[in-house]
Structure 1
Amino acid sequence: MRSGYGPIGLLLVSMIWGRLFPREIISLFSFIKREAYSSALMHWHGKYYSFDGRQIRFYLIARTVWIPITDIERIVEPKLEKHEIEALGFQYGKIPEQRAMGVTEGGLLQLLKPRTEGGHTNYKMIRFKRWLLASALVNVKRLPKSAIKNIH
């Protein structure tokens, strides 16, 4: 094959294939699009939420909601103290099947309690707690079973 015939030959072959197999080609592109969407988004489905522009990940593992401590530290004011985290006991630790350290839903509510109740309340923390209880945690817990198995 001499140079110069490559692009023309490719064009002719693609036109012939397009005439012979139009449905198959269209379904192939549809399949590629669905698989790309699924592989890009289903891994994230139901895990990522945002509060005031800051991302928070939620993991539903064995009916327990886990939140990475790094995500919590970006939002909670005043900053978390080491003794607060240690006081959580079993509600703080390595998130099952993940590499990150985190707290359970109960542990997060325990961390928010002194920030939302009493004389030194913080309006942002009150909003955060309301958002957690009314939107985020409710949605994470009611994910369909098909999405839960993809969350692991």
Structure 2
Amino acid sequence: MAQLEANPWLRFIAKIIFSAGISVGAWVFFERLNRGYGPVGLLLVSMVWVRLFPRDILNLFSFIKRSAYHSAVHHWHGKYYSFDGRQIRFYLIEQTVWIPVVDLERVLVPKIVKHELQFLEEQHGKIPEHSMIGVTEAGLLMLLKTRTEGGHTNYKMIRFKRWLLTQALENVKRLPKSAIKNLR
């Protein structure tokens, strides 16, 4: 008995075994009373589970909520900006800003074509330390040059370029070194 009080894991396992035994017993008892009433026995015995595991049940729900939040937004956390409601991630790696092509495809008009990316050469490729394909800041400005100058000017792309140069890139570059480590 002293071991149960000293070790919380043993106490937890003992409570699980006790609750499982009561649950099986209730299922069998109610099934014998009337076939198909086993779930009613489990429902009645659930009060034992709630009484024995209140903190564990609350922690389980908290864990589920944290896990859902983490899986939904963690990969974006601290790495993105939003333009017209579309999220764009920025990675500052060795003083070079990288932007994933997937994020740019949601914003750029007209869509990025394969030969445009080939034209960028070393300004395009796998983002260091990540598994995504991206373009550097210079590569993105080259892509925007064709979309904002000349006869095919698009007002949305002019706004995007202005936002990029005045807000997003400035903020990414001036982050303190401690924040840069957290972005990776």
When normalised by structure 1's length, the TM-score is: 0.68
CA distance in 2: counterparts of 1:23 and 1:108, whole angstroms: 51
| Secondary structure of 1:98's aligned partner | coil
Instruction: Give the deviation of 1:42 after TM superposition.
Output: 0.4
The answer for the alignment partner of 1:4 in structure 2 is 36
1:62-91 deviations in Å (ceiling 9; x for gaps): 243322345545544466676654443311
Choose between structure 1 and 2 for higher RCO, CA contacts under 8 A separated by at least 6 residues: 1
Q: 1:105 aligns with which of 109, 112, 137?
A: 137
Q: 2:156 aligns with which of 106, 124, 127?
A: 124
- Whether contact under 8 Å (1:46, 1:140) holds in the other structure is no
One-letter amino acid of the structure 1 residue matched with residue 58 of structure 2 = I
The answer for the alignment partner of 2:179 in structure 1 is 144
The answer for the alignment partner of 2:51 in structure 1 is 19
Instruction: Give the deviation of 1:22 after TM superposition.
Output: 1.8
| Secondary structure of 1:4's aligned partner | coil
Q: 1:58 aligns with which of 69, 80, 89?
A: 89
- Whether contact under 8 Å (1:56, 1:71) holds in the other structure is yes
Larger radius of gyration: 2
% identity of equivalent residues: 63
- Whether contact under 8 Å (1:68, 1:103) holds in the other structure is yes
Instruction: Give the deviation of 1:31 after TM superposition.
Output: 1.8
CA distance in 2: counterparts of 1:106 and 1:140, whole angstroms: 14
The answer for the alignment partner of 1:30 in structure 2 is 62
Please report the RMSD computed on the Cα atoms of aligned residues, expressed in angstroms: 3.4
More helix by share: 2
When normalised by structure 2's length, the TM-score is: 0.59
One-letter amino acid of the structure 2 residue matched with residue 144 of structure 1 = A
One-letter amino acid of the structure 2 residue matched with residue 31 of structure 1 = F
Unaligned runs of 5+ in 1: none
Change in Cα spacing, 1:50 to 1:21, as seen in structure 2 (3 Å) is same
CA distance in 1: counterparts of 2:181 and 2:63, whole angstroms: 20
Instruction: Give the deviation of 1:128 after TM superposition.
Output: 0.8
Q: 1:89 aligns with which of 118, 121, 125?
A: 121
Instruction: Kindly tell me the number of residue pairs found equivalent between the two proteins.
Output: 147
